[in-house]
Amino acid sequence: MPEDRRQRRDAAANKQRILIAAGEAFRRGGMAVDMRAVAAAAGVGIGTLYRHFPTREHLVRAVTGTDMAALAVAALPEGLSALPALRAFLHARVSHLVGNKAMVDLLAAGSPAEAEVERCLAHLTGIGREAVARSRADGTLAADVTATDIAYQVFGLIRIAQLLPADDPDAITHQVEIALRGLSAPR
């Protein structure tokens, strides 16, 4: 086998090991994870890590990109009225985020001008529009709730997710219920 082909295969294997090690480290430790620790966990030198990912942000984005894409296509469950659909959506999304500290850090620290956060906000506003449309039929949301209000509530829950323990689903449920009370129609 030619030497350059073996080197390319080794480089691809190194990159994959870095992504796996970084994925685990960033999910547990968030953006503050030491890059040397990631390199060591992947079994590569720090130079190899930086050849593949020139900055921490490059590596974080490579690791969280799939999760960001999943959030950007998440939808309200079909067949539910506005409030129960939002409850299911929010609980699923926040539960997923609590398990990925790097993604939470990335979303919570981003400004709305950043392209990924902007796309996420646009998608969540679309979710809000769908919830508001469902509420016109079922009246479960307060009359003054807008699609943007719902998107901002999701971002608020993302910030709260930074503080929640990953192993406490009751804390997630509690925070989602508090947010939903603020969006609910008066009884």
Share of the chain above pLDDT 70, in %: 91
- Residue ranges and CATH numbers for the domains of the chain are 3-54 (1.10.10), 63-183 (1.10.357)
Give pLDDT, residue 46. Answer: 95
In the structure, what pLDDT confidence band is assigned to residue 110 with cuts at 50, 70 and 90? low
Give pLDDT, residue 30. Answer: 78
In the structure, what pLDDT confidence band is assigned to residue 96 with cuts at 50, 70 and 90? confident
Give the residue-averaged pLDDT of 51-60: 87
Give the residue-averaged pLDDT of 76-92: 94
* Torsion of the alpha carbons at 145, 150, 152 and 155, rounded to the nearest 10: 160
Give pLDDT, residue 15. Answer: 93
Please state whether the predicted TM-score (pTM) of the whole model is above 0.85.
no
In the structure, what pLDDT confidence band is assigned to residue 143 with cuts at 50, 70 and 90? very high
Q: Cβ of 79: how many Cβ atoms within 10 Å? A: 7
